[in-house]
Amino acid sequence: MKYTLPSDRNIRIAISGRSGCGNTTVSRLLSETLGIEMINFTFRSLAEETGLSLPEIIERAKTDDSFDKAVDTRQVEMAKKTSCVLGSRLAIWMLKEADLKVYLYADDDVRASRIFNREGGNLDDIKAFTKMRDTQDASRYKRLYDIDTADYSFCDMIIDTAKYTPDKIVGQIIEQLIKRGLISEKAE
């Protein structure tokens, strides 16, 4: 199925969730399905740009707010320029202009298993690292932006990613976009 976006305005979809929830996968699939840009500028992207490792970035971000602010400012600036899917931990809070806000979640074991499958390593170490990262991220976001990442009740959609495949999740988001008149189906 092909979809048509309005010609007179940009459509912005914000997708957030913790590490291992499927943000990147769902955001990529949705952007490909809609034929719009995917913006996923994260600490991982910053690590690649700077040559620092992800753990180094995370460690430095504990005492240097410039890492968070660089990532958060850059992704919002990028998202404001075009129709896009913005997939990041803070997308739903930071992109106030989003036409649809989606929060993805999964329990800690599911998330750790996905990270293990993606990156390898030791599952117990991944669980411990992920829990530490979640706690530190939440504390930092509260301090920097007064954002409570445990409160995503304002989102338009909240999806348990353990219950659906990424394709099914994208289908649910597409249905919601059509229902809201943000996109329409185009006959092939």
Residue-wise pLDDT tens digits, 84-136 = 999 988 999 999 999 999 999 999 999 999 999 888 998 899 999 999 989 98
The CA–CA distances, whole Å, from 128 to 32, 56, 59, 93, 122 equal 33, 17, 15, 26, 10
**Largest Cα–Cα distance of the chain, in whole Å?**
53
Residue 188 has pLDDT above 80, yes or no: no
The model's pTM is 0.89
Q: Yes or no: say if 69 and 43 are a contact pair by the CB < 8 Å rule.
A: no
CA 134/CA 140 separation, integer angstroms:
10
CA 76 to CA 72: how far, in whole Å? 6
